[in-house]
Amino acid sequence: MEARIVRYADLAPCYNAFIDCRTPGSEAKENFTIIGPGVSENPAQHVHIAEPHGFNIGGARQPPGCVNSQHSHDTAEVFVVHSGSWRFDLGEHGEDAQVELHPGDVISLPVKIFRGFTNIGDDVGFLWAVLGQDDPGHVTWAPKVFEMARDYGLVLLENGQLVDTAAGEAIPAGAQLMRPTSVDDVAKMKRANNSEADRMVVRAGLAPHGTVATPIIGPDGPLDWPHGFTLERLDIAASDRIAASASSSAVVIFVHRGPLAVDWDGGETTLGDGDTMTVPVGLTHFYRADRDTIAFIVRGAQ
């Protein structure tokens, strides 16, 4: 079971996962692939747990002022703000809509809409991410990102692999380059205003009294459009112990504020802030907290 846990302290970052990694303002970001292949463009990106879950888990850690450039995805992208204050900017140039998020907030970004995000706080911030499907496809970058990447010696191949010519890497013989995003491609993207962006967010709000499971993504949650997975926030009051019924789909636990004890027939473990654990399909397990605890639970589509 310990092999199914990725401790926050053990996260292995990649500093050059994407073609914007040398763009001024973006060069200090750390990308993490926690469960599944993710969308990293660097084949050297470390994958902590490769087992298919029907969705991917990743993360981004950025110092103050650090930017993740405008891009879009082919599957759902959901962020849980673990630490820091963040601004999400929508649109090709990030000017269509802006929304700010803080610890405990959740945002679900629709497919085929340009988004970027910046750590606007005073400390290093961490976003925990869920991407839909086992193969979430490739990132579509705004045209300007391709232009800046070329200036810094970074080339993206059609298969989604990044080549660093400034570091002496050669483009493989016969490889096709990724076609830069065109004006027509941009025109086909969705757009959103500030009001629509606000509806993509669920705020942390006040902590509930007692032990409460609050649906966020799924038929019973406020973000109820199809994602391919569900997400709920689990608040556990101090000294409570609750059962999680065996599931026929993948279950992943992320601890926002812990510690959280997890036990099952034959063992137990304790998860701390920022830790991620994947529970085997069909395993009945229990959650216990010595003090008020907040976790987020992702389940695959039934």
Residue 73 inside a domain? The answer is yes
What pLDDT does 133 receive? Answer: 95
3-state secondary structure of 67: strand
The pLDDT confidence band at residue 302, using thresholds 50, 70 and 90, is low
Final residue of a domain: which of 138, 167, 202?
202
- Cα–Cα distance for residue pair 27/53, rounded to 1 Å: 31
Final residue of a domain: which of 202, 226, 241?
202
Task: Give me the half-sphere count of Cα atoms (radius 13 Å) on the Cβ side of residue 232.
Answer: 15
Same domain, 183 and 259: no
Section 275-285 average pLDDT: 94
Same domain, 13 and 49: yes
Distances (CA, A) of 87 to 108, 197, 212, 272: 14, 11, 28, 26
Residue 223 inside a domain? The answer is yes
What pLDDT does 242 receive? Answer: 93
Range with lowest mean pLDDT among 129-133, 160-164, 197-201, 260-264: 160-164
Same domain, 177 and 59: yes
Residue 207 inside a domain? The answer is no
Same domain, 227 and 196: no
Same domain, 289 and 174: no
Same domain, 197 and 226: no
Domain containing 245 equals: 212-300
Q: What's the whole-number average pLDDT of the chain?
A: 94
- Cα–Cα distance for residue pair 106/23, rounded to 1 Å: 27
Same domain, 30 and 132: yes
Residues of the chain with pLDDT > 70: what percent? 100
Query: What is the value of pTM for the model shown?
Result: 0.94
Same domain, 288 and 223: yes
> Residue 280 carries which side chain, given as an amino acid letter?
P
- What is the count of structural domains for the chain? 2
Q: What is the CATH number of the domain that holds 291?
A: 2.60.120.10
Final residue of a domain: which of 202, 234, 249?
202
Same domain, 187 and 229: no
